């Protein structure tokens, strides 16, 4: 082992695992997660396990191809024990074949932050499935759905005339997995004001029987693409550093609000979160 690696191993630097899809542009997925972990915990040791390759931004809707389960499980078992795990896109075929159980066993009690990714930001099918994500929820420490993901997890059609309040959505999510904390994110839906005052954005953490609201002024910023990935990874970084969940969530939200002010134009000419080395 080289000296720097040995120093890191001996320094007690936290270990974070990232399990998710690879978006080659780095705008979302595991490259975005890696950028976030590096920005927030530069000394952390980061294990990145790709669940699926994806193709995006090439003029056609995003697509994905799951990697073989046995490879993923072997990689999980070969990594040092994590202090926290961030889970992003996981194709339903992998969860149906037992990846959730293998992950829980390999993570040996480390907290799991699960961003229930269903579709790509362009609406493309990434192979994720609602039923599989509901199954994974019980193993998660915290699930971080945005409003469309929360509705999908609860089987509420997108265009349905009567939309439940955010409180009702949180109750429904808690009924899926009551011991799991749920962070319902309001930021993705610009036009929607339910649960928010005019000009504000609100996220809501349901933790046990309590709900903690994170309200702040809504600021124009980049495309939401990659922000869900970054937020969940930031929460995992906090947990890996020993922060309690509520503090880790509060700090991650504050960090992301700041990061959103430093956007850059992407190849698609839309504003995006910055990322070192993005193509």
Spell out the residues 6+ positions from residue 203 whose beta carbon is closer than 8 angstroms to its own. 183, 184, 185, 186, 187, 213, 214, 249, 253
Size of the residue set binding ligand PLP (CB under 6 A) = 20
Contact in structure between 115 and 229 (CB atoms under 8 Å):
yes
* Residue 189: burial class (beta carbons within 10 Å; 0-12, 13-18, 19+): middle
Applying the rule CB under 6 A, the residues between 155 and 214 that interact with ligand PLP are none
25 near ligand PLP, rule: CB under 6 A? no
45 near ligand PLP, rule: CB under 6 A? no
127 near ligand PLP, rule: CB under 6 A? no
Residue from 89, 113, 183, 249 touching ligand PLP (CB under 6 A): that is 89
Task: Give the nearest distance from C-beta 126 to ligand PLP in angstroms.
Answer: 6
57 near ligand PLP, rule: CB under 6 A? no
Report the distance separating Cα 2 and Cα 32, nearest Å.
27
- How many of the other CB atoms lie within 10 Å of CB of 164? 16
Looking at the Cβ atoms of 109 and 220, the one nearer to ligand PLP is 220
235 near ligand PLP, rule: CB under 6 A? no
120 near ligand PLP, rule: CB under 6 A? yes
CA distances from 38 to 9, 93, 171, 275 (A): 16, 30, 35, 11
Looking at the Cβ atoms of 13 and 53, the one nearer to ligand PLP is 53
Report the distance separating Cα 131 and Cα 16, nearest Å.
27
Report the distance separating Cα 245 and Cα 122, nearest Å.
31
- How many of the other CB atoms lie within 10 Å of CB of 122? 12
Looking at the Cβ atoms of 223 and 251, the one nearer to ligand PLP is 223
Task: Give the nearest distance from C-beta 10 to ligand PLP in angstroms.
Answer: 33
Spell out the residues 6+ positions from residue 46 whose beta carbon is closer than 8 angstroms to its own. 15, 16, 17, 18, 34, 37, 38
Could you tell me which stretch among 73-81, 117-125, 202-210, 245-253 binds ligand PLP (CB under 6 A)? Answer: 117-125
117 near ligand PLP, rule: CB under 6 A? yes
Report the distance separating Cα 236 and Cα 147, nearest Å.
21
29 near ligand PLP, rule: CB under 6 A? yes
Residue from 26, 111, 222, 226 touching ligand PLP (CB under 6 A): that is 226
Could you tell me which stretch among 42-50, 105-113, 224-232, 242-250 binds ligand PLP (CB under 6 A)? Answer: 224-232
229 near ligand PLP, rule: CB under 6 A? yes
Footprint of ligand PLP on this chain (CB under 6 A)? 20-21, 23, 28-29, 54, 56, 62, 88-89, 115, 117, 120-121, 224-229
């Amino acid at each position: 082992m080289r000296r720097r690696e040995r120093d890191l191993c001996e320094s007690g630097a936290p270990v974070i695992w990232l399990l998710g899809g690879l978006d080659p542009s780095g705008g979302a997925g595991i490259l975005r997660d890696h950028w976030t972990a590096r920005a927030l915990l530069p000394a952390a040791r980061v294990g990145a396990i790709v669940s699926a390759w994806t193709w995006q931004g090439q003029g056609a809707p995003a697509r994905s191809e799951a990697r073989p389960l046995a490879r993923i499980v072997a990689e999980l078992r070969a990594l040092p024990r994590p202090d926290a795990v961030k889970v992003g896109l996981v194709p339903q075929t992998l969860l149906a074949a037992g990846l959730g159980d293998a992950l829980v066993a390999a993570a040996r009690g480390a907290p799991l932050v699960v961003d229930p990714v269903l579709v790509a930001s362009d609406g493309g099918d990434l192979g994720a499935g609602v039923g599989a994500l509901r199954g994974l929820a019980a193993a998660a420490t915290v699930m971080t759905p945005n409003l469309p993901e929360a509705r999908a997890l609860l089987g509420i059609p997108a265009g349905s005339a009567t939309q439940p309040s955010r409180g009702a959505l949180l109750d429904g999510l808690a009924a899926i997995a009551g011991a799991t904390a749920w962070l319902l994110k309001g930021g993705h839906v610009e036009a929607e004001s339910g649960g928010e005052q005019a000009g504000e954005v609100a996220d809501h953490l349901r933790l046990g029987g309590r709900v903690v609201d994170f309200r702040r002024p809504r600021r124009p910023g980049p495309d939401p693409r990659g922000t869900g990935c970054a937020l969940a990874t930031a929460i995992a970084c906090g947990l890996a550093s020993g922060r309690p969940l509520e503090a880790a969530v509060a700090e991650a939200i504050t960090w992301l609000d700041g990061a959103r002010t430093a956007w850059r134009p992407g190849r698609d000419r839309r504003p995006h979160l910055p990322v070192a080395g993005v193509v």
